[in-house]
Amino acid sequence: MLFLTTVFSLSAQNIQIKGVVVSSADNEPLLGVNVVVKGTTNGTMTDLDGQFTLSAPDQSILTISYIGFKPLVINSNRIR
């Protein structure tokens, strides 16, 4: 299972989503996790510290996936 911590900052039409993805088993950050706005090619990957930044429309659906883990689908509005 993946855990996600996020910070939002609002702009005119998009929100800046910053987060950290960690393993639920040991709370360690995960490198190379895919974070994508569902239905688009807008996405990014987590860095060495499990961190990512993504600009997306407000109330976007994010799909977070990593090999060996069940994908996580989150509404960005729900995790504020």
Q: How far is CA 74 from CA 2, 22, 48, 80, in A?
A: 11, 15, 22, 11
Q: What is the pLDDT of residues 35-56, one digit of tens each?
A: 999 999 999 999 999 999 999 9
- Residue 12 lies in domain: 2-75
Q: How many domains does the chain have?
A: 1
pLDDT of residue 11 exceeding 90, the answer is no
CATH number of the domain within which 40 lies: 2.60.40
- pLDDT mean over 24-35: 93
Q: Is residue 28 part of a domain?
A: yes
For residue 67, pLDDT over 70 is answered with yes
- 17 in any annotated domain: yes
* Percentage of the chain lying above the pLDDT 90 cut: 54
Rounded to two decimals, what is the model's pTM? 0.78
Neighbours of 44 (CB within 10 A): 16
- Report the distance separating Cα 80 and Cα 78, nearest Å: 6
